Structure 1
């Protein structure tokens, strides 16, 4: 193929690389990288150069050479943003989006994946649509937009099933299981794992995502040894086997579980790999998570733990990532309370509780409430108006319902599917503790200023 059409050959190598990553055979990516390097020419057209940069960057990342990986991956992102004419394809855009995720430029990765989704729909390229939606969901996860990531994954699941792409469907199911587990929604997470089936291929991406989800549920329930063991098994560091990139994403949970155990070699090794990656990026979130991990592994009640927690809070982005910041506030509050500093703990715990309540993360809000009570504070239900309990899109839908609009009318006005409106409305009812559209109208009638936040 290389002798007749280098562009097609390079694209084939990129797809081969994605296949070995999906299967958990990352050690084979080195050969993909060598073949791509042999195909490169100094004056390659943008689409060919973009694909070559992706393969080169991923190969370097997998062998831990972030100094070489970063420039190649960033170049792929830049080229993806410049594509025009025949070079502008869903395949090229997904390659650029994948590069953006590996180098941790989440906003750019999301924009590229969004363009890939739109272009794939427009051209009817269903084979690429599911992959583009997968990348968009991962970007939304890193941006802290968990509801959007879940909606994207549900869309991807429908597309993959309709196209007969069962491996892709299982990836979306795995992502939905992780997102539900992160929100401590056990029932939804286990249901998605059951949908993957009883025997996902060991080492494959769906298998790893299901393991990550189960580990988070273990962590929520205080089964720290089980959670750590599951997460440590996602990849065998140094061998190129298993889901290395999934384990990197899950490392903050591995460290949190291991912090409760006397022996932590797997977590220490995983954190070292995470640190090398995080420090090679310009991502404040990755560095915040790294600092939080070091705080958790530091001696309890010591200066190092407090310093690392404060570093994490300083680094956490203010616009995106409210959930992860709230998790850091909760963990810092726990550390301070257990170090017999309840007064210092309360401010962090209050902040965590309010954020979790606003995000609808009820189980985490309950944990923050329990910690506040343990810190000697009498805590009632959060005194928050309806408008503050809802996201911007949920609030707009709720207002239209309160005004008497049907779901179909709302979908047309907001350029959404009726399925999406139904989903958001169920979440509105849950967050506000109501059961009907009539109750919703009464709630908004009792809060005349709720509409002030409609453009959030």
Structure 2
């Protein structure tokens, strides 16, 4: 089990090749169904960091068998974390909330597997996605109440530090943001060989100083696709404050959208798409909707249908996709017509079957 614990820590720190090696060592040592399930959870986290969202979900399905085994139940939060992150990035609100509730129980009952793998940071991020940044800020402050908890947070997920600092700055809490920055800088100085910590500290410096040059350095040092997308979005945001940087803003936003899409995060791509729209580049942005798996539906219709089938209201879909409620309702009427559904409930019931079929002959419904 020690090799799997090491693999998980290495994954958090984005030392993916070393993590894979540790997993190979663990699987070579023993052949036990429960150990294999734990291994699947660690592999799921690796796949998530690589942007292989579907593979991460499949591995979680295998790995969550440990939840019923008292010996290894403390590993179940890893599966809950991967599933919650996947749902959040896809914009699947109902699924995200379900796994978030499980994570809250994990935190409440002390089922964190290790101090450096606590899901507390993810609970804050999910609350922000569900209820808004104003609600998430007090939880972020609680997460960072001591140096020990801040260091634990940075080791759990260095890439999440920029998210926390952004909402703190938005709330005007520069003091707490500076404290996170100092802690990240100290941790980076103590561990110069851990690239993810160094990159996170650089990103925080850039956000607090509003320094585009530092952000560009952070892009170059980004440890994974999603992180590079996040930094490019920050560059676009900062440059957008100047009307003279139109072309550069568009370039960085388009790069961010492409990287978010590559990382399996249509929710984040949609957010940046909205920013690009405000810069009159909606045509360039349109291609970043997730591709429709149903030939009769456009990419936008497919995205709307998937969210509605997942239980979201029109208002929630509008918020996630940065569309008006009227536009969502228009798309939904077209979707009903094309797939032959008469209600939202009927669409939800038939959705998995529709997506699962390789082709769909629904020409009679046009």
Task: Tell me if both proteins adopt one fold, taking TM over 0.5 as the criterion.
Answer: yes
Structure 1 match to 2:170: 260
Q: How does 1:47-446 map to 2 (within 5 A)?
A: 91-94=1-4, 96-97=6-7, 100-101=10-11, 105-117=15-27, 119-120=29-30, 123-124=31-32, 126=34, 128-161=35-68, 165-195=72-102, 200-201=107-108, 204-205=111-112, 211-220=120-129, 223-234=132-143, 236-239=145-148, 244=153, 245-246=155-156, 248=158, 250-279=160-189, 280-299=191-210, 305-317=211-223, 321-340=224-243, 341-379=245-283, 382-383=286-287, 436-439=357-360
Q: Deviations over 1:108-135 (max 9, x none)?
A: 0222124424644xx2262x44544444
Which TM-score applies when normalising by structure 1? 0.54
Give the number of equivalent residue pairs: 297
Q: Deviations over 1:172-225 (max 9, x none)?
A: 223422343344432222111334575753665289855433422344468323
Q: CA RMSD in A?
A: 3.9
Alpha carbons of structure 1 residues 114 and 242: separation in structure 2 relative to 1, 3 Å: same
**Cα pair 2:124 2:140 within 8 Å, conserved:** yes
Alpha carbons of structure 1 residues 436 and 150: separation in structure 2 relative to 1, 3 Å: closer
Instruction: Give the greater-gyration-radius structure (CA).
Output: 1
CA distance in 2, matches of 1:171, 1:385: 29
Which TM-score applies when normalising by structure 2? 0.66
Q: Deviations over 1:138-193 (max 9, x none)?
A: 44444454444443333221233256643332442234223433444322221113
CA distance in 1, matches of 2:226, 2:150: 31
**Cα pair 2:232 2:252 within 8 Å, conserved:** yes
Segments of structure 1 that go 5 or more residues without pairing to the other structure are 1-90, 300-304, 390-429, 441-456
CA distance in 1, matches of 2:90, 2:194: 23
SS of residue paired to 2:147: coil
Higher relative contact order (CA 8 A, sep 6+): 2
CA distance in 1, matches of 2:121, 2:74: 18
